[in-house]
Amino acid sequence: MAEVETTGAEAAPREEARERRVRVVLVDDHRMFRTGVQAEIGRTDETGVEVVGEAADVDQAVTVITATRPEVVLLDVHLPGGGGVEVLRRCADLASDPAQPVRFLALSVSDAAEDVIGVIRGGARGYVTKTITGTDLVASIFRVQEGDAVFSPRLAGFVLDAFASTDAPPIDEDLDRLTQREREVLRLIARGYAYKEIAKQLYISVKTVESHVSAVLRKLQLSNRHELTRWATARRLV
| Residue numbers at the binding site for another protein (CB under 8 A) | 1, 3-4, 6, 9, 112, 153-154, 156-157, 160-161, 164, 187, 190-194, 196-197, 200-201
- Closest CB 39 distance from another protein, rounded Å: 19
- CA-to-CA distance for 110 and 119, rounded, in angstroms? 12
- Closest CB 164 distance from another protein, rounded Å: 6
CB nearer to another protein: pick between 9 and 168: 9
CB nearer to another protein: pick between 14 and 196: 196
- Closest CB 74 distance from another protein, rounded Å: 21
- Beta strand pairing call for 72-75 and 22-27: parallel
Give the CA angle between residues 197, 200, 201 to the nearest 5°.
Answer: 85
Helix runs in 76-222, H state only? 83-90, 92-95, 113-122, 134-145, 153-164, 173-176, 180-190, 195-202, 206-222
CB nearer to another protein: pick between 21 and 196: 196
- At residue 21, φ and ψ (nearest 5 deg) are -125, 145
- Closest CB 179 distance from another protein, rounded Å: 16
The angle that helices 11-19 and 134-145 make with each other, rounded to 10 degrees, is 60
Alpha-carbon distances of 124 from 88, 121, 146, 203, rounded to whole Å: 7, 7, 14, 29
- Closest CB 153 distance from another protein, rounded Å: 5
CB nearer to another protein: pick between 44 and 165: 165
CB nearer to another protein: pick between 52 and 132: 132
